[in-house]
C-alpha cells in the first residue's frame, strides 16, 4: 500500500469530521450535501479496499454495526449520581439553594457572594463517554448510578459526538452529558414516519432514550440525536481547570458540544436572574428543557461541600412550571405507594393538559392538600409537574358561593379519613414529627408495597438474590405465588416446576434462581437488617445497628432510647424502627425468614467506640489485587471506619491501589496520608 493512500485516507477522515462538526455542532454547513456524500463514499471505498486502515475513530463507524442481543452492564469508574431537584419553582427555590450552600460553608451575611455556574437542564438521556488517548472507546447510560449499559455502537451514530478529541492525549477522560432530540429534528422525523405509514415518536425525550436503547445500531443511526456535555467522570492524565465553567470551556475546545446557554453568576440574585432569563426564552429554545441547573463554580468548594444521600450539596436542578388547565375535583382517594407513602389523589373531570388527557392528579400530602384547601366539587388548576406527573396547583373559588357552602366542608384530614389504618392492608399509619408524609407500617406485609419490598430484599446490597429482578417479581406477585420475602424460601410455593412455567424462564434459569435463593440464606446481620426495607434505615445505618447490637434478638428488644445510643441514629430513625417492629405482620415475616434458614454469624455486642477505626475516614482509589473495593469497604466499615467517595481535609487515609487516579493527586495536594496495598493490609492484620 502506497503512502499516498494512507495520506489520502487520513486527510479524508479529517475533512469529513470537520464538515460533521460544522453541520451538527455549529449548525453552519460549509459544503453542499452532495459534496459531503462524495467525500464520505470515497473514504468508505478506501477503507473497504484496505481494511488495515480501518480505525475506531473513523467517521464511517457512525453508520452503525451489527445488531446486539442485549446491552452489556458496565460499572462506572466514578458513580453517575443524580442531583437534587428544587420543587419550589419560584425565585425562593434559587434563594434557598444559595442559603444552604452558604450555611454548609460557614459563611455569614458579610462574606462575599458565592460564584455559580448556571446551565440548562436538558430533557434527554444521561450518557458517559469514555475517551482513552483522545479516542472514544465506550459509551454507557447512567443506569442505577453505579452500573450502566454499554451503548457504544448507538452513541457512535450521533454525529455531533467526536470520535476523537482534538489535541487530547489523556490516558482517560470521561465526558458526561445528555443525549437529546431537538424539536425540529423530532418533527421532521415524525413527518417522515407518517408519510411512510410508520410509527411516530411520542415526544423528544422518549425519542432520545428509545433510540439509544435500540439493539440494532442501524435503527439508532436513523434517529436524529444530539448531545451536550455538562461534566466529567473519571479523569487520568488531564489537567482539569479550577472551575466548572472552565471545564466546559476546555471540553468545547476539544470539540465536544457544550451549550452556549450558560452563565457564571454571583450569589442568589444571579441565580434568580438566570432562572427568569431562561424562563422568558424557554419556548424559543430549539430543544426541550424542564429547568435549569445551578452548580458551585469552584471545584475545590465542590469537594469541600461533598455529598448527602448520594446527591451533591453543590448542585441543584430548579424546575419550571408546566402547562396548566382548569377542571373539577370529583373525589379524593388515598393511594399507597411502593414505599408505603400515603398520597392523596384528586379524581378529576377529565381534562387535556400537557399533551394528554388527565383524570387523576396528585395532591402530594396532607399538608399540601390543606394548604391549597382542595375539596370535592372545587374547580382547580391542574398542571403536569415536570411534564410527567399531573398535580393540583390550586383552587379557583367561585365568589358567588360562600366558603361555608362548598360541597365538602372541613379541611382535609388523612388520618381520620382512613381511621388511622392503611387502606390496603389495615396496618397502622404513622407520620414522623416534622415530616409531611404519612406511611403504612406494614412494609413486609402490605400488598401495595409488595413488589418494592421483594426487589429491595433481593437487591445486591441486601440478600443479593441474582436473577430476581423486576419482570420476575411482577409475575410472582401478579400470579399470587409470592406475597412476602419469606415466601421466596418456601419450596412449596417456589419450586422448579412453578418457576420454569413462568414467561421466558425455562428450567435452567429456574434452577439458577433456586441456587441463588439457597445461597442467599447465608448472609450478614447488616445485610438482613437493610433488606427489611425499614423507613430511614439505609446501608450505613444497618451496619451501625448490627455492630452495636450484635444480634437480631438484641435489636428486636431495643426501645427508642436504646436505639439512639447507636452511632448516627437519632429520634427519627429510632422511631421508624420502633414503628416497623411494632407491627405484628412485620415481626411474623421476620420470624418466618429465620425459620426458613436465613442466618448469619452471631457475635457479642460491640460498642462503636471500641472499634479500632472509629472516627476515621478512608477513601479508596485504584485497583487492589488482594480484594475488591467493595470487600475493602466492608472490612473498613466493620472496624468502625467511614468510607467516603471523595478526598477532603477531613480524610484520614487514602488507600491507593494500581492505576490510582485523581483522588491520589488530591490526597497529596491536601497532605493526606496515603497507604499502598501492603501498608493497608498491615493496618488490617493486627485486628483480624
pLDDT tens for 328-361 read 999 999 999 878 999 999 999 998 876 678 999 9
Check residue 623 and give its pLDDT.
Answer: 84
- Nearest CA among 556, 573, 555, 576 for reference residue 564: 573
pLDDT (tens digit per residue) in 583-617: 898 999 999 999 999 999 875 444 544 678 877 88
Confidence band of 388 (pLDDT split at 50, 70, 90): low
The CATH code of domain 3-54 reads 1.10.287.610
For the chain, the structural domain boundaries read: 3-54, 115-319, 324-417, 444-608, 611-687
The answer to whether residue 25 scores a pLDDT higher than 70 is no
Highest mean pLDDT: which range of 348-362, 459-473, 613-627: 459-473
Report the alpha-carbon distance of residue 299 to residue 257 in Å, rounded.
Answer: 21
Q: What is the pLDDT of residue 604?
A: 43
Q: Which residue shows C-alpha cell 358567588?
A: 400
Q: Determine the average pLDDT of the residues in 488-516.
A: 88
Q: Is the pLDDT of residue 527 over 80?
A: yes
Q: Which residue has the higher pLDDT, 409 or 114?
A: 114
Q: Which three cell numbers stand for residue 170?
A: 489523556
**pLDDT value, residue 626:** 77
pLDDT of residue 435: 75
585 φψ region: left (φ > 0), alpha (ψ -120 to 50), beta (else): alpha
Distance CA 41, CA 276 (A): 48
Place of cell 459544503: 31
Say which DSSP state 532 is in: T
Q: Determine the CATH number of domain 611-687.
A: 3.40.50.10190
Contact call for residues 94 and 240 (beta carbons, < 8 A)? no
Q: Among 25-34, 160-169, 189-198, 300-309, which stretch is predicted with the lowest mean pLDDT?
A: 25-34
**pLDDT value of residue 69:** 66
Q: For residues 409 and 173, which has the higher predicted lDDT (pLDDT)?
A: 173
Instruction: Output DSSP code: residue 113.
Output: P
Q: Which fold has domain 115-319?
A: D-amino Acid Aminotransferase; Chain A, domain 1 (3.30.470)
pLDDT tens-place string over residues 191-206 = 777 667 667 776 787 7
- Of the candidates 614, 528, 620, the one whose C-alpha atom is nearest the C-alpha of residue 568 is 614
How does pLDDT run across 365-381, given as a tens digit for each residue?
Answer: 888 888 888 999 999 98
Please name every residue paired with 326 in a beta bridge, in sequence order, or none if there are none: 381
Highest mean pLDDT among 54-68, 91-105, 351-365: 91-105
How far, in Å, CA of 119 to CA of 262, rounded? Answer: 5
pLDDT at 643 over 60: yes
Residues belonging to the active site: 121
When comparing pLDDT for 95 and 284, which is higher? 95
- The set of residues, in sequence order, having a beta carbon less than 8 Å from that of 95 and lying 6+ positions away, is 268, 271, 272
Average pLDDT in the chain: 86
DSSP assignment of 339-386: TSEEEEEEEEEEEEETTEEEEEEE--SHHHHHHHT--TT-EEEEEEET
- Burial of 32: CB neighbours in 10 Å, binned 0-12, 13-18, 19+: exposed
Using CA atoms, how far apart are residues 576 and 536, in angstroms rounded to an integer? 7
Give me the residues paired with residue 316 across strands.
Answer: 84, 294
Question: Helices 571-582 and 584-595: crossing angle, nearest 10°?
Answer: 80
- CATH fold of 444-608, please? DNA polymerase; domain 1 (1.10.150)
In tens, the pLDDT along 420-442 reads 999 999 999 998 777 778 999 98
Please tell me the CATH code under which domain 324-417 is placed. 2.40.50.140
Residue 367: C-alpha distances to residues 406, 434, 449 (Å): 20, 11, 23
Amino acid at each position: 500500500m502506497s503512502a499516498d493512500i494512507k495520506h489520502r485516507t487520513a486527510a479524508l477522515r479529517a475533512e469529513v469530521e470537520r464538515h460533521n462538526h460544522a453541520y451538527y455542532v455549529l449548525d453552519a454547513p460549509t459544503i453542499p450535501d452532495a459534496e459531503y456524500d462524495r467525500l464520505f463514499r470515497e473514504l468508505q471505498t478506501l477503507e473497504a479496499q484496505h481494511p488495515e486502515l480501518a480505525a475506531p475513530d473513523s467517521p464511517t463507524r457512525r453508520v452503525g454495526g451489527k445488531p446486539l442481543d442485549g446491552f452489556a452492564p458496565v460499572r462506572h469508574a466514578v458513580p453517575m449520581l443524580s442531583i437534587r431537584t428544587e420543587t419550589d419553582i419560584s425565585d425562593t427555590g434559587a434563594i434557598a439553594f444559595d442559603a444552604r450552600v452558604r450555611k454548609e460553608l460557614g459563611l455569614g451575611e458579610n462574606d462575599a457572594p458565592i460564584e455559580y455556574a448556571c446551565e440548562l437542564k436538558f430533557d434527554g438521556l444521561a450518557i458517559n463517554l469514555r475517551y482513552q488517548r483522545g479516542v472514544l472507546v465506550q459509551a454507557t447510560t447512567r443506569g442505577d448510578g453505579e452500573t450502566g449499559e454499554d451503548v457504544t455502537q448507538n452513541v457512535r451514530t450521533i454525529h455531533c459526538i467526536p470520535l476523537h478529541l482534538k489535541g487530547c492525549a489523556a490516558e482517560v477522560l470521561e465526558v458526561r452529558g445528555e443525549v437529546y432530540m431537538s424539536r425540529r429534528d423530532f418533527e421532521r422525523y415524525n413527518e417522515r414516519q407518517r408519510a411512510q405509514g410508520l410509527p411516530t415518536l411520542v415526544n423528544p425525550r422518549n425519542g432520545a432514550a428509545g433510540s439509544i436503547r435500540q439493539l440494532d445500531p442501524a435503527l439508532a443511526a436513523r434517529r436524529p440525536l444530539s448531545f451536550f456535555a455538562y461534566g466529567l467522570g473519571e479523569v487520568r492524565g488531564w489537567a482539569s481547570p479550577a472551575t466548572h465553567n472552565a471545564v466546559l470551556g476546555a471540553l468545547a475546545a476539544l470539540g465536544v458540544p457544550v451549550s452556549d446557554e450558560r452563565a457564571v453568576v454571583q450569589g442568589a440574585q444571579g441565580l434568580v436572574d438566570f432562572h427568569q432569563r431562561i424562563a422568558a426564552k424557554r419556548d424559543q429554545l430549539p430543544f426541550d428543557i424542564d429547568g435549569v441547573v445551578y452548580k458551585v463554580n469552584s471545584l475545590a468548594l465542590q469537594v469541600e461541600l461533598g455529598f448527602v444521600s448520594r446527591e451533591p450539596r453543590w448542585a441543584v436542578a430548579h424546575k419550571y412550571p408546566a402547562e396548566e388547565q382548569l377542571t373539577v375535583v370529583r373525589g379524593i382517594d388515598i393511594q399507597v405507594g411502593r414505599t408505603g407513602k400515603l398520597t392523596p389523589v384528586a379524581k378529576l373531570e377529565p381534562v387535556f393538559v400537557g399533551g394528554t388527557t388527565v383524570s387523576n392528579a396528585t395532591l402530594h400530602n396532607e399538608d399540601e392538600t390543606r394548604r391549597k384547601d382542595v375539596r370535592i366539587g372545587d374547580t382547580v388548576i391542574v398542571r403536569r409537574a415536570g411534564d410527567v406527573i399531573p398535580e393540583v396547583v390550586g383552587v379557583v373559588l367561585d365568589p358567588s358561593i360562600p366558603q361555608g357552602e362548598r360541597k365538602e366542608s372541613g379541611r382535609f384530614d388523612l388520618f381520620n379519613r382512613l381511621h388511622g389504618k392503611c387502606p390496603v392492608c389495615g396496618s397502622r399509619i404513622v407520620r414522623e414529627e416534622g415530616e409531611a408524609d404519612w406511611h403504612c407500617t406494614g412494609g413486609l406485609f402490605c400488598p401495595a408495597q409488595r413488589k418494592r419490598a421483594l426487589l429491595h430484599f433481593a437487591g445486591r446490597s441486601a440478600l443479593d438474590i441474582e436473577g430476581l429482578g423486576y419482570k420476575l417479581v411482577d409475575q410472582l406477585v401478579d400470579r399470587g405465588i409470592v406475597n412476602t420475602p419469606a415466601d421466596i424460601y418456601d419450596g412449596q410455593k417456589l419450586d422448579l416446576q412453578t418457576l420454569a412455567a413462568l414467561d421466558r424462564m425455562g428450567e435452567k434459569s429456574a434452577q439458577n434462581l433456586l441456587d441463588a435463593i439457597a445461597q442467599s440464606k447465608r448472609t450478614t446481620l447488616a445485610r438482613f437488617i437493610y433488606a427489611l426495607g425499614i423507613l430511614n434505615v439505609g446501608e450505613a445505618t444497618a451496619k451501625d445497628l448490627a455492630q452495636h447490637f450484635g444480634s437480631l434478638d438484641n435489636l428486636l428488644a431495643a426501645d427508642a432510647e436504646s436505639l439512639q445510643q447507636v452511632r448516627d441514629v437519632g429520634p427519627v430513625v429510632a422511631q421508624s424502627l420502633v414503628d416497623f417492629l411494632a407491627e405484628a405482620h412485620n415481626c411474623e415475616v421476620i420470624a418466618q425468614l429465620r425459620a426458613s434458614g436465613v442466618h448469619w454469624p452471631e457475635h457479642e455486642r460491640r460498642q462503636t467506640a471500641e472499634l479500632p477505626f472509629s472516627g476515621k475516614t478512608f477513601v479508596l482509589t485504584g485497583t487492589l489485587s488482594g480484594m475488591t473495593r467493595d470487600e475493602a469497604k466492608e472490612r473498613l466499615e466493620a472496624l468502625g471506619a467511614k468510607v467516603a467517595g471523595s478526598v477532603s481535609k477531613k480524610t484520614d487515609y487514602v488507600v491507593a491501589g494500581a492505576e490510582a487516579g485523581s483522588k491520589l493527586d488530591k490526597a497529596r495536594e491536601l497532605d493526606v496520608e496515603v497507604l499502598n496495598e501492603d501498608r493497608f493490609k498491615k493496618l488490617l492484620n493486627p485486628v483480624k
